[in-house]
Amino acid sequence: MNIKELEYFKTVCQHKSITKAAHALYMTPQGLSKIIKNIESEMGASLLNRTGTGISLTEAGAYLYAKLPEFLNSYHSICSEIRCIEQRQNHEIDLLSAYGILRLVTPECLVDFKKKYPHIKFNYREYPDRQVERLFQEGEGNVAFTVGNGLLKNTRATFMEKYEIKLLVNRQHPLSGRETVSIKDMEGEKLYIESSEFNIHNLILSQCRLAGFKPDIVFETSGFSLCHKMVQQNKGISVTVDFIFDDMKQDDLVMLPFEEGPFYWETYMLTREGKAENPDISLFHNHVMYWLEEIRKNSIQR
What domains does the chain contain, in order, with CATH numbers? 3-70 (1.10.10.10), 91-302 (3.40.190.290)
Half-sphere exposure of 105 (CA within 13 A, CB side): 29
Q: pLDDT value at position 275?
A: 58
**129-133, long-range: CB < 8 A, 24+ apart:** 129/98, 129/99, 129/197, 129/198, 129/199, 129/200, 130/196, 130/197, 130/198, 130/199, 131/197, 132/96, 132/97, 132/98
Q: Exposed e or buried b for every residue in 83-118, given b needs 16+ CB within 10 A?
A: bbeebbeeebbbbbbbbbbbebbbeebbeebeeebe
Q: pLDDT value at position 274?
A: 62
Q: Check: CB of residue 56 under 8 Å from CB of residue 15.
A: no
Q: pLDDT value at position 270?
A: 92
Q: pLDDT value at position 42?
A: 92
Q: In the chain, which residue ranges form alpha helices assigned H by DSSP? A: 3-15, 18-24, 29-43, 59-89, 101-105, 107-116, 129-137, 199-210, 224-232, 242-248, 279-296
Q: Check: CB of residue 240 under 8 Å from CB of residue 228.
A: yes
List the chain pLDDT tens, one digit each, 302 residues: 788 899 999 999 998 889 888 888 888 989 999 999 999 999 999 999 887 777 889 999 999 999 998 888 888 777 777 777 777 778 899 999 999 899 889 999 999 999 999 999 999 999 999 899 888 887 788 899 999 866 666 678 999 999 999 999 999 999 999 999 999 999 999 999 999 889 999 999 999 999 999 999 999 988 788 999 999 999 999 999 988 888 877 789 999 999 998 999 999 999 887 656 789 999 999 999 999 999 999 998 87
Coil vs helix vs strand at 92: strand
